[in-house]
Amino acid sequence: MPAQSTRELIVEQADALFYESGFEATSFADIAAAVGISRGNFYHHFKTKDDILDAVIARRMERTRAMLDGWQAEGEGPRERIQSFIHMLIANRSRIMDFGCPVGTLCSELAKLDHAAQGRATEIFGLFRDWLAEQIRALGAVDQAETLALHLLAWSQGVAVMATAFKDEAFIRNEVAGIERWLASLPDLSQPK
């Protein structure tokens, strides 16, 4: 297999550090130490810190797309696919309690920094919104699809924020159960084959 390029290593480590420490609090020196290269070497791969941020956001976009495509290809129905989305809260509960949601916390930080990449970060949310809306549309709720998708997204974000604040795993499980009941209560209006 081909070895990971230095550039990919930088983006990978920066991604993790931006998530765990925040964009502003992560320095070039931190990333260099994580990758194991010298600080000066950075400039050859990325001109500015904002360039790294752009690459990190692009990476997250790609990986999010791949994840959503994966769920799409598993062959089950829209209800099961939405379940995959909800289950992220359980699967990633430990890191969520430590660092929150990677997307939500990045968007919030960039908003405060009034950063130019804010819109690009929000596009990751856009991927989830559109994918969820597609699943809900497949359930037959065509006109409400986007509204319900945003609602589900907001709910999961709220769970992430509160889980980070209170470090309460039982709360996460409680809310996930609530989301699942909500999902089950959505009527399937789609035409049977």
Partner DNA sequence: ACAGAATTAGGACAATCGTCCTAATTCTCA
Partner DNA sequence: TGAGAATTAGGACGATTGTCCTAATTCTGT
The residues that touch its own copies, with contacts defined as CB under 8 A, are 20-22, 24-25, 98-100, 104-105, 107-109, 111-113, 121-122, 125, 147, 150-151, 153-159, 161-162, 164-166, 171, 174-175, 178
Question: For residues 135 and 156, which CB has a smaller minimum distance to its own copies in the complex?
Answer: 156
48 contacts DNA (rule: CB under 7 A): yes
- In the complex, minimum distance from the CB of residue 126 to its own copies, in angstroms, rounded to a whole number: 8
Element (H, E) at 136: helix 118-138
**8-state DSSP, 186:** S
Residue 65, amino acid: R
Q: How far apart are CA 166 and CA 63, in angstroms?
A: 29
38 contacts DNA (rule: CB under 7 A): yes
Q: How far apart are CA 79 and CA 99, in angstroms?
A: 28
Q: How far apart are CA 51 and CA 46, in angstroms?
A: 6
Q: How far apart are CA 70 and CA 6, in angstroms?
A: 27
116 contacts DNA (rule: CB under 7 A): no
Contact with DNA (CB under 7 A): which of 4, 21, 41, 147? 41
Contact with DNA (CB under 7 A): which of 28, 99, 155, 182? 28
Q: How far apart are CA 117 and CA 57, in angstroms?
A: 9
Contacts with 57 (C-beta within 8 Å, 6 or more apart), sequence order: 106, 117, 120, 121, 123, 124
45 contacts DNA (rule: CB under 7 A): yes
Residue 45 binds which entry of DNA, its own copies, none, CB below 5-8 Å type-dependent: DNA
Name the CA radius of gyration of the chain, rounded: 19
Question: For residues 45 and 136, which CB has a smaller minimum distance to its own copies in the complex?
Answer: 136
Residue 20 binds which entry of DNA, its own copies, none, CB below 5-8 Å type-dependent: its own copies
Residue 78 binds which entry of DNA, its own copies, none, CB below 5-8 Å type-dependent: none
Q: Using CB under 7 A as the criterion, which residues of the chain lie in contact with DNA when the complex forms?
A: 5-6, 26-30, 37-45, 47-50
